[in-house]
Structures are given as C-alpha cells and as structure tokens.
C-alpha cells in the first residue's frame, strides 16, 4: 500500500534524532491515534542549516518526517514556510488516503518549529 519512496524513507530515515540546543522546536500530536512528532531546526541568516526530528508514529509519519527534513534543509524560512502537506505527499509519490492525517503532522510540525524560532527571537 506504500510507494517505494515511503518504504525507502521509512527504512532509511534521513536526519532522525534529537537535537541539542535547537533554535526552534515544533511539537505536534495526531489526535486520531495519539502519536507525537518533534521537529528541531537550527537557523542561521534566515536559512535552515540543520533539521532533525523524533516521531513516535506509524510508517507514514516517519517517512513524512524524513522527507520534510530533506525538503526544508538549506531553505530560507520563507521558502520552508511554503512547503505544504501536499508537497510532502507528492515528494513521497503519494500516500494512502487513510494515512493523510499522519502525513499532515510533518508540515504542521515544521511550521510550528519556524513559529517557535520567531517567538524566541521576538519576531512573532
């Protein structure tokens, strides 16, 4: 039921793990299943220099966390803010409709991490 891209990112997750002293953290929960995701970012000159994540969730949630970390790394905050839930699903060559709610976590988590960064800087 999963695309090759989803299976690949699930089996070989990119940028997975905790980050010490992040500049921003986004925490999101999936109300449907109770799973939780954290996205950590380090920002320099308005660019996401580093990103990592911890996801207690299903294969779709892990694959989308991995994919969004690749999509967002090296992007400016403005560019990263424009990454949508659909972009992530599309980069993973689609997700089963029943899993769309899981995949939404990653895009929401990234937005929250950026929001947190701006708050910490007194920019929000």
| Residue 33 bears catalytic tag | yes
Task: Scan residues 47-66 and list those touching ligand FES (CB under 6 A).
Answer: 57-58, 60-61
Residues contacting 24, CB < 8 A, separation 6+: 40, 41, 43, 113, 114, 115, 116, 117, 118, 120
Determine the size of the site formed for ligand FES (CB under 6 A): 8
**80 forms part of the interface with ligand FES (CB under 6 A):** no
Residue tagged active-site, from 102, 105, 107, 110: 102
| Residue 58 bears catalytic tag | no
Annotated active-site positions, please? 33, 102
């Amino acid at each position: 039921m999963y695309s090759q891209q989803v299976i690949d990112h699930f089996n070989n997750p990119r940028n997975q793990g905790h980050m010490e002293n992040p500049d921003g953290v986004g925490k999101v929960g999936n109300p449907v299943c109770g799973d939780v995701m954290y996205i950590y970012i380090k920002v320099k000159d308005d660019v996401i220099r580093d990103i990592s994540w911890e996801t207690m969730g299903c294969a779709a949630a892990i694959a989308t966390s991995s994919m969004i970390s690749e999509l967002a790394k090296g992007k400016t905050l403005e560019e990263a803010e424009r990454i949508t839930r659909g972009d992530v699903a599309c980069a993973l060559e689609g997700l089963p409709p029943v899993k769309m709610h899981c995949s939404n976590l990653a895009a929401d988590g990234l937005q929250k991490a950026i929001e947190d960064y701006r708050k910490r800087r007194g920019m929000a």
